[in-house]
Structure 1
Amino acid sequence: MRRAVWLMLVLWLMGLPAMAHESRPAYLELNETAVGRYDALWRTPLLSGMRLPIALRFAEGIRTVVEPVESELNDSLIERRVIDAGPAGLVGQRIEFIGLQASITDVLVRVSRLDGSLTTTLVHPAQPWIEIAATPGAFSVAGAFLVHGIQHILGGFDHLLFVFGLLLLVSNGWMLVKTITAFTLAHSVTLALATLGAVRLPGPPVEATIALSILLLAVEIARKNRDETSFTLQWPWVVAFCFGLLHGFGFAGALAQIGLPQRDLPLALFTFNVGVEIGQLMFVAVVLSLRELLLRCRLPQPAVLYARPIASYGLGTLAAFWFFERVSSFLS
């Protein structure tokens, strides 16, 4: 019965990336190059080759100095322009995202100023506009990066599948706590080191190796299914710690895309990491709750018999696909 439950959870997880494809965030970047003048970059994701119907609208007091120029990437459309908001800049000005309320897409807004301050805000469909505020206080920075951390881990399906693989691999409750804790500590260390510039690794190879770590975990799950033993099965927390160091670089890459406010860098880094841990615990709680719920259901005997092998092979197949896809992307 437990095997069939794990299979159903694996199939559910494998379907998440497809659903998430529709909710990739749009992105607006505003860089102040002179007093009141900004370089604007507006990126909207493509869905099945079509642009999401979201339009950018600036307040009436903001004039376009250089007309928009569009370029198309594989997964998004990029629009660049130069705007002038006057001597007061963008503070107090409203930017609207027409059509956002009818979608499931968020918009990440990043504003950098001449004084070196940097703010990032996530705009949701429920409130499809943003009013640019002055340099935010510590509480605002902490709240924003806490939310960024939670949303990043819940949208990072490779990280979630690795955690799910740990749940498949470790059945002992106390050992599971040690294993998840080791993974958390490890990626917290490399997240901090990479973000602060102490260690640097190129992003594409890191992402490919993260996929490989899931594949290796699937191999160990298959060994467990055959009642074999290995170092990973005996010391899963050690392996989780080693792979966690790798996953931390993946988190750092995502954080670099958001941008850290230099004035509140330690606070932003800390709260982002806390958000990642909260999101990870939420995921573990949901998986374990669904597992207990499904255990109460009566499933056919064939499903119970073949569930665990299918689960491990399904996890490995998806990880292998990601690995070759990511390797080919930076080798081409």
Structure 2
Amino acid sequence: MASRGVLSQSLLALLLLLAPAWPGAHAHESRPAYLQITETAPSQFSLLWRTPMRGDIPLAVILKLPEGVRDTRPPLVQTLSDSRLERRWIDAGAKGLSGNRIGFPGLELTITEAIVEVETLDGHRWMGIARPSQPWVELAADRRSLQVAVEFTRQGIDHIFAGVDHLLFVFGLLLLVPGPWMLVKTVTAFTVAHSLTLAVATFGYVRPPVPLVEAAIAMSILFLGVEIVRARRGETSFTIERPWLVAFAFGLLHGFGFATVLSDAGLPERGIPLALLSFNIGVELGQLAFVAVVLVTARALVRLGGHWPPWMQLVPAYLVGTLGAFWTIQRLAAF
């Protein structure tokens, strides 16, 4: 395994690449919009359209239904503390909705997704996800579980790479852990912990307030930054001696952060298990890819014989702590 000094160099380089995203980093606050479509009679559907709130303003995403669709009664709109709900009843005509596109103009200007779930009279169910790169879904009655798994695995991967604070915490673990075996233990403990709370929160057993979770995640990064500096100075502590236990404890917090992506989407309970499993797999694939990039970069620097002054090797540790402090203050102020 590469030395801590070379690892610090590689982490500093990657941190600088991520710098444009730091000031506004709210990794787990990009809650998805959600559209539920239920067929109530042939070509007749009830719709529940939910858009998350940003302060007092709903996300600027519009629901665009296929041409020829008409309302059978006036829509009902309700504004909640965290979202705007619109209920509609529509007639899709003789051809129905199958094979048609539903668009989400404005989604391309966001960093979130729109989750679509459809249930037809004959019992067919499927999910789709519209993204900024493709702000529409095409409805199909024969969508299979494998397609749902692929969609949510992709969403998990996208979410982990959008989660700058989560990636920074993983950075910190790589800086703190002294050897390969301890790294395996620490990353495994972190993975198990956030997988547990991701499941618990998604199924609704525990729902801590999102602002509190976000502030606690920022504090975990600040705490980790302090411990990294202590380790560099040759000091010791419970965290330095048993990083896997601390990673497990903080992993529980990060799992609640991940859960907001699915639990706040309002997914019906019977649609959650496959989506949850697939999303979690995507998160882990993204996390492993990130760790691999860091370690490969460190190994490349070793082979190239790169060397930075000792003070430069401390920069990543101070960046972790500084950004953790900034996000802590920013998120506490949001209360």
- For normalisation by structure 1, the TM-score amounts to 0.78
Of residues 222, 225, 228, the one that matches 2:232 is 225
Answer with 201-210 or 83-92: which moved more: 83-92
- Could you tell me the percent identity over the aligned residues? 45
Q: Is 1:11 aligned to 2:22, yes or no?
A: no
Residue correspondence of structure 1 range 146-295 to structure 2 within 5 A? 146-295=153-302
Q: Is 1:93 aligned to 2:66, yes or no?
A: no
Residue deviations 1:207-254 (CA, integer Å, cap 9, x gap): 111111111100000001111111111111111111112211112222
Which residue is equivalent to 2:117?
A: 111
Contact conserved, 1:165 with 1:218, CA < 8 A, in 2? Answer: yes
The residue type equivalent to 2:273 in the other structure is P
Where do 5+ consecutive residues of structure 2 fail to align?
none
Contact conserved, 1:30 with 1:38, CA < 8 A, in 2? Answer: yes
Where do 5+ consecutive residues of structure 1 fail to align?
46-50
Residue deviations 1:23-80 (CA, integer Å, cap 9, x gap): x7974635559642434456799xxxxx98x8764321223565999x9x9xxx9896
Which residue is equivalent to 1:310?
A: 315
| CA shift for structure 1 position 261 | 4.7
Contact conserved, 1:120 with 1:259, CA < 8 A, in 2? Answer: no
Shift in alpha-carbon separation, 1:84–1:206, aligned structure 2, 3 A: same
3-state SS of the aligned residue for 1:58? Answer: coil
Equivalences, count: 318
Answer with 237-246 or 25-34: which moved more: 25-34
The residue type equivalent to 1:29 in the other structure is L
User: Which whole-Å CA distance do the structure 1 matches of 2:289 and 2:177 have between them?
Assistant: 18
| CA shift for structure 1 position 122 | 2.3
Contact conserved, 2:124 with 2:141, CA < 8 A, in 1? Answer: no
Residue deviations 1:103-146 (CA, integer Å, cap 9, x gap): 79674232365989975422356655321233743223222222
Which residue is equivalent to 2:334?
A: 329
Residue deviations 1:89-115 (CA, integer Å, cap 9, x gap): 5333322456878x7967423236598
User: Which whole-Å CA distance do the structure 1 matches of 2:132 and 2:222 have between them?
Assistant: 36
Which residue is equivalent to 2:47?
A: 38
Which residue is equivalent to 1:319?
A: 324
User: Which whole-Å CA distance do the structure 1 matches of 2:115 and 2:284 have between them?
Assistant: 24
User: Which whole-Å CA distance do the structure 1 matches of 2:231 and 2:326 have between them?
Assistant: 23
User: Which whole-Å CA distance do the structure 2 matches of 1:140 and 1:84 have between them?
Assistant: 27
3-state SS of the aligned residue for 1:233? Answer: helix
Which residue is equivalent to 1:48?
A: none
Q: Is 1:132 aligned to 2:139, yes or no?
A: yes
| CA RMSD after TM alignment | 3.9
Shift in alpha-carbon separation, 1:252–1:27, aligned structure 2, 3 A: closer
Contact conserved, 1:148 with 1:275, CA < 8 A, in 2? Answer: yes
User: Which whole-Å CA distance do the structure 2 matches of 1:277 and 1:325 have between them?
Assistant: 28
3-state SS of the aligned residue for 2:314? Answer: helix
Contact conserved, 1:96 with 1:130, CA < 8 A, in 2? Answer: yes
The residue type equivalent to 2:116 in the other structure is R
3-state SS of the aligned residue for 1:36? Answer: strand
Shift in alpha-carbon separation, 1:145–1:196, aligned structure 2, 3 A: same
The residue type equivalent to 1:319 in the other structure is G
Contact conserved, 2:156 with 2:282, CA < 8 A, in 1? Answer: yes
User: Which whole-Å CA distance do the structure 2 matches of 1:176 and 1:129 have between them?
Assistant: 41
User: Which whole-Å CA distance do the structure 2 matches of 1:284 and 1:66 have between them?
Assistant: 52
User: Which whole-Å CA distance do the structure 2 matches of 1:167 and 1:249 have between them?
Assistant: 22
Residue deviations 1:177-196 (CA, integer Å, cap 9, x gap): 11101111111122222222
The residue type equivalent to 1:8 in the other structure is A
| CA shift for structure 1 position 260 | 3.7
Shift in alpha-carbon separation, 1:178–1:29, aligned structure 2, 3 A: same
User: Which whole-Å CA distance do the structure 1 matches of 2:204 and 2:278 have between them?
Assistant: 18
Shift in alpha-carbon separation, 1:80–1:263, aligned structure 2, 3 A: closer
Contact conserved, 2:222 with 2:320, CA < 8 A, in 1? Answer: yes
